[in-house]
Chain A
Protein backbone atom coordinates (compact mmCIF):
# COMPACT_ATOMS: atom_id res chain seq x y z
CA UNK A 1 0.00 0.00 0.00
CA UNK A 2 0.87 3.65 -0.12
CA UNK A 3 1.41 4.10 3.59
CA UNK A 4 2.38 2.27 6.76
CA UNK A 5 -0.45 0.01 7.86
CA UNK A 6 -0.98 -1.10 11.46
CA UNK A 7 -3.44 -3.55 12.87
CA UNK A 8 -5.51 -3.71 14.90
CA UNK A 9 -6.28 -0.03 15.28
CA UNK A 10 -7.63 -0.65 18.77
CA UNK A 11 -7.03 -3.53 21.16
CA UNK A 12 -8.47 -4.06 24.62
CA UNK A 13 -6.94 -6.90 26.58
CA UNK A 14 -7.06 -8.26 30.09
CA UNK A 15 -4.06 -7.88 32.34
CA UNK A 16 -1.79 -10.88 32.04
CA UNK A 17 -2.74 -11.77 28.48
CA UNK A 18 -0.34 -11.66 25.53
CA UNK A 19 -0.94 -9.34 22.57
CA UNK A 20 0.48 -9.07 19.08
CA UNK A 21 0.56 -5.85 17.13
CA UNK A 22 1.25 -5.86 13.42
CA UNK A 23 2.97 -3.37 11.16
CA UNK A 24 3.10 -3.45 7.37
CA UNK A 25 5.70 -0.90 6.18
CA UNK A 26 5.85 0.92 2.89
CA UNK A 27 7.02 -1.41 0.18
CA UNK A 28 10.76 -1.11 -0.38
CA UNK A 29 11.49 0.58 2.95
CA UNK A 30 14.34 -1.26 4.58
CA UNK A 31 14.11 0.39 7.99
CA UNK A 32 11.23 -0.22 10.39
CA UNK A 33 10.74 1.33 13.82
CA UNK A 34 8.41 0.86 16.77
CA UNK A 35 7.60 3.71 19.13
CA UNK A 36 5.22 3.98 22.06
CA UNK A 37 3.17 7.05 22.86
CA UNK A 38 1.80 7.14 26.37
CA UNK A 39 -0.51 9.81 27.70
CA UNK A 40 1.59 12.77 28.75
CA UNK A 41 4.84 10.93 28.03
CA UNK A 42 5.66 11.81 24.44
CA UNK A 43 7.09 9.28 22.03
CA UNK A 44 9.39 6.58 23.32
CA UNK A 45 11.64 4.57 21.01
CA UNK A 46 11.28 0.79 21.36
CA UNK A 47 13.12 -1.03 18.60
CA UNK A 48 14.26 -0.73 15.03
CA UNK A 49 15.12 -3.10 12.19
CA UNK A 50 17.40 -2.38 9.27
CA UNK A 51 17.54 -4.99 6.51
CA UNK A 52 19.16 -8.18 7.73
CA UNK A 53 21.15 -6.51 10.49
CA UNK A 54 20.56 -7.31 14.14
CA UNK A 55 17.78 -5.08 15.44
CA UNK A 56 18.44 -2.26 17.87
CA UNK A 57 16.42 -3.35 20.88
CA UNK A 58 17.78 -0.73 23.24
CA UNK A 59 14.39 0.88 23.86
CA UNK A 60 12.42 -2.18 24.87
CA UNK A 61 11.22 -1.52 28.43
CA UNK A 62 11.31 -5.11 29.67
CA UNK A 63 11.79 -8.69 28.53
CA UNK A 64 8.03 -8.98 28.16
CA UNK A 65 8.42 -7.02 24.94
CA UNK A 66 9.77 -8.56 21.77
CA UNK A 67 9.53 -7.91 18.05
CA UNK A 68 10.36 -9.65 14.88
CA UNK A 69 10.40 -8.75 11.24
CA UNK A 70 9.80 -11.49 8.75
CA UNK A 71 11.27 -11.38 5.26
CA UNK A 72 12.36 -7.80 5.70
CA UNK A 73 8.76 -6.62 5.51
CA UNK A 74 5.98 -7.14 8.04
CA UNK A 75 6.81 -6.73 11.72
CA UNK A 76 5.05 -8.01 14.82
CA UNK A 77 5.47 -6.49 18.27
CA UNK A 78 4.55 -8.93 21.02
CA UNK A 79 3.84 -7.99 24.61
CA UNK A 80 3.62 -10.91 27.01
CA UNK A 81 1.75 -10.87 30.31
CA UNK A 82 0.43 -7.38 29.69
CA UNK A 83 0.30 -4.87 32.53
CA UNK A 84 -1.81 -1.76 32.88
CA UNK A 85 1.24 0.45 32.35
CA UNK A 86 1.55 -1.05 28.86
CA UNK A 87 -1.56 0.88 27.84
CA UNK A 88 -0.47 3.29 25.13
CA UNK A 89 -0.56 3.94 21.41
CA UNK A 90 2.03 1.84 19.64
CA UNK A 91 3.31 3.48 16.49
CA UNK A 92 5.20 1.89 13.66
CA UNK A 93 7.22 3.83 11.11
CA UNK A 94 9.30 2.97 8.11
CA UNK A 95 12.07 4.68 6.23
CA UNK A 96 13.85 4.03 2.98
CA UNK A 97 17.15 3.63 4.81
CA UNK A 98 18.48 4.05 8.31
CA UNK A 99 20.04 7.44 8.14
CA UNK A 100 19.69 10.49 10.27
CA UNK A 101 18.89 12.43 7.11
CA UNK A 102 15.61 10.68 6.52
CA UNK A 103 12.29 11.36 8.11
CA UNK A 104 10.02 8.45 8.80
CA UNK A 105 6.52 7.69 7.61
CA UNK A 106 4.33 6.73 10.55
CA UNK A 107 1.31 4.50 10.66
CA UNK A 108 -1.85 5.51 12.50
CA UNK A 109 -0.96 3.34 15.47
CA UNK A 110 -2.55 0.66 17.61
CA UNK A 111 -4.26 1.91 20.75
CA UNK A 112 -3.71 -0.73 23.41
CA UNK A 113 -5.79 -0.69 26.56
CA UNK A 114 -5.01 -3.16 29.32
CA UNK A 115 -7.87 -3.62 31.77
Chain B
Protein backbone atom coordinates (compact mmCIF):
# COMPACT_ATOMS: atom_id res chain seq x y z
CA UNK B 1 0.00 0.00 0.00
CA UNK B 2 1.17 3.50 -0.81
CA UNK B 3 2.33 5.07 2.44
CA UNK B 4 1.96 8.68 1.32
CA UNK B 5 -0.24 9.90 -1.50
CA UNK B 6 -0.14 13.43 -2.76
CA UNK B 7 -3.36 13.77 -4.63
CA UNK B 8 -2.23 16.38 -7.15
CA UNK B 9 1.00 16.32 -9.10
CA UNK B 10 0.51 19.96 -10.16
CA UNK B 11 -1.46 22.82 -8.61
CA UNK B 12 -1.82 26.25 -10.16
CA UNK B 13 -3.15 29.27 -8.26
CA UNK B 14 -3.21 33.00 -8.78
CA UNK B 15 -1.17 35.25 -6.54
CA UNK B 16 -3.19 36.28 -3.51
CA UNK B 17 -5.54 33.29 -3.62
CA UNK B 18 -5.53 30.36 -1.17
CA UNK B 19 -3.29 27.34 -1.59
CA UNK B 20 -4.36 23.76 -0.83
CA UNK B 21 -1.99 20.85 -1.36
CA UNK B 22 -3.54 17.54 -0.47
CA UNK B 23 -1.87 14.59 1.23
CA UNK B 24 -3.15 11.27 2.53
CA UNK B 25 -1.06 8.78 4.44
CA UNK B 26 -1.22 5.26 5.79
CA UNK B 27 0.26 4.29 9.12
CA UNK B 28 -0.24 1.48 11.61
CA UNK B 29 1.14 3.48 14.52
CA UNK B 30 1.23 7.10 15.56
CA UNK B 31 2.93 8.80 12.67
CA UNK B 32 4.91 11.95 12.44
CA UNK B 33 4.10 13.97 9.37
CA UNK B 34 6.11 16.64 7.63
CA UNK B 35 5.94 18.97 4.70
CA UNK B 36 9.13 19.86 2.88
CA UNK B 37 9.58 22.41 0.12
CA UNK B 38 12.12 22.38 -2.67
CA UNK B 39 12.67 25.48 -4.75
CA UNK B 40 14.25 25.03 -8.20
CA UNK B 41 17.89 23.99 -7.91
CA UNK B 42 17.75 24.31 -4.14
CA UNK B 43 17.83 21.84 -1.30
CA UNK B 44 14.90 20.54 0.70
CA UNK B 45 13.63 22.77 3.47
CA UNK B 46 11.37 21.70 6.32
CA UNK B 47 8.13 23.71 6.28
CA UNK B 48 6.39 22.19 9.28
CA UNK B 49 5.93 18.97 11.21
CA UNK B 50 3.27 17.19 13.23
CA UNK B 51 4.43 14.96 16.06
CA UNK B 52 1.31 14.13 18.10
CA UNK B 53 0.88 17.51 19.75
CA UNK B 54 -1.58 20.08 18.37
CA UNK B 55 -3.37 18.84 15.26
CA UNK B 56 -3.13 22.23 13.57
CA UNK B 57 0.50 22.91 12.83
CA UNK B 58 1.88 26.26 11.78
CA UNK B 59 5.02 26.43 9.70
CA UNK B 60 7.21 28.97 8.03
CA UNK B 61 6.11 31.50 5.40
CA UNK B 62 2.46 31.41 6.48
CA UNK B 63 1.86 27.74 5.73
CA UNK B 64 -0.10 25.47 8.02
CA UNK B 65 -1.37 21.91 7.97
CA UNK B 66 -4.02 20.03 9.88
CA UNK B 67 -3.67 16.42 10.98
CA UNK B 68 -6.99 14.59 10.62
CA UNK B 69 -6.67 11.07 11.87
CA UNK B 70 -10.19 10.04 10.86
CA UNK B 71 -9.45 11.04 7.28
CA UNK B 72 -5.76 10.05 7.35
CA UNK B 73 -4.99 13.41 5.83
CA UNK B 74 -2.42 16.13 6.36
CA UNK B 75 -3.28 18.82 3.83
CA UNK B 76 -1.09 21.91 3.49
CA UNK B 77 -2.72 25.32 3.22
CA UNK B 78 -1.85 28.96 2.95
CA UNK B 79 -4.42 31.79 2.90
CA UNK B 80 -2.75 33.86 0.23
CA UNK B 81 -0.19 32.65 -2.31
CA UNK B 82 2.90 34.62 -3.11
CA UNK B 83 5.02 34.31 -6.23
CA UNK B 84 7.90 33.07 -4.10
CA UNK B 85 5.80 30.05 -3.05
CA UNK B 86 6.26 28.47 -6.48
CA UNK B 87 8.16 25.27 -5.76
CA UNK B 88 7.73 21.54 -5.31
CA UNK B 89 6.20 20.38 -2.04
CA UNK B 90 6.63 16.97 -0.47
CA UNK B 91 4.41 15.35 2.12
CA UNK B 92 6.38 12.96 4.30
CA UNK B 93 5.48 10.33 6.89
CA UNK B 94 7.59 8.61 9.47
CA UNK B 95 6.75 6.02 12.10
CA UNK B 96 7.90 2.71 13.49
CA UNK B 97 6.26 0.87 10.60
CA UNK B 98 8.77 2.50 8.28
CA UNK B 99 11.72 2.01 10.63
CA UNK B 100 11.80 5.69 11.56
CA UNK B 101 12.83 6.60 8.04
CA UNK B 102 11.17 9.46 6.25
CA UNK B 103 8.93 8.19 3.46
CA UNK B 104 8.26 10.81 0.82
CA UNK B 105 5.23 11.40 -1.35
CA UNK B 106 5.74 11.93 -5.06
CA UNK B 107 5.57 15.70 -4.74
CA UNK B 108 3.24 18.48 -5.86
CA UNK B 109 4.52 21.27 -8.07
CA UNK B 110 2.90 24.56 -7.13
CA UNK B 111 2.67 27.21 -9.81
CA UNK B 112 1.69 30.76 -8.85
CA UNK B 113 0.35 33.01 -11.58
CA UNK B 114 0.63 36.78 -11.43
Whether A42 and B100, one on each chain, are in contact in the complex, defined by CB atoms closer than 8 angstroms, is no
- Any chain A CB within 8 A of the CB of B56? no
Whether B102 and A45, one on each chain, are in contact in the complex, defined by CB atoms closer than 8 angstroms, is yes
- Any chain A CB within 8 A of the CB of B69? no
Interface membership of chain B positions 70-102, coded 1 if the CB is closer than 8 angstroms to chain A and 0 otherwise:
000000000000000000001000111011111
Interface membership of chain A positions 78-103, coded 1 if the CB is closer than 8 angstroms to chain B and 0 otherwise:
00000000000001010000111101
- Any chain A CB within 8 A of the CB of B7? no
Instruction: Specify which chain A residues have a CB less than 8 angstroms from the CB of B43 in the assembled complex.
Output: 91, 106-109
Whether A42 and B31, one on each chain, are in contact in the complex, defined by CB atoms closer than 8 angstroms, is no
Query: How many residues from B make CB contacts under 8 Å with A?
Result: 25
- Any chain B CB within 8 A of the CB of A43? yes
Whether A101 and B51, one on each chain, are in contact in the complex, defined by CB atoms closer than 8 angstroms, is yes
Query: How many residues from A make CB contacts under 8 Å with B?
Result: 22
Shortest Cβ gap from A15 to chain B (Å): 25
Instruction: Specify which chain A residues have a CB less than 8 angstroms from the CB of B104 in the assembled complex.
Output: 35, 42-43
CB < 8 Å: which of B42, B90, B96, B101 contacts A33?
B101
Chain A: CB-nearest residue to B101? A45
Whether A100 and B94, one on each chain, are in contact in the complex, defined by CB atoms closer than 8 angstroms, is yes
- Any chain B CB within 8 A of the CB of A48? yes
Top 7 A-B residue pairs of the complex, sorted by shortest distance between their CB atoms: A100-B94, A43-B104, A106-B44, A108-B43, A42-B106, A101-B51, A103-B46
A-side residues, CB < 8 A to B, are 33, 35, 42-43, 45, 48, 56, 58-59, 91, 93, 98-101, 103-109
A to B CB contacts below 8 Å, 6 in the list: A42-B105, A45-B101, A45-B103, A58-B99, A101-B32, A108-B42
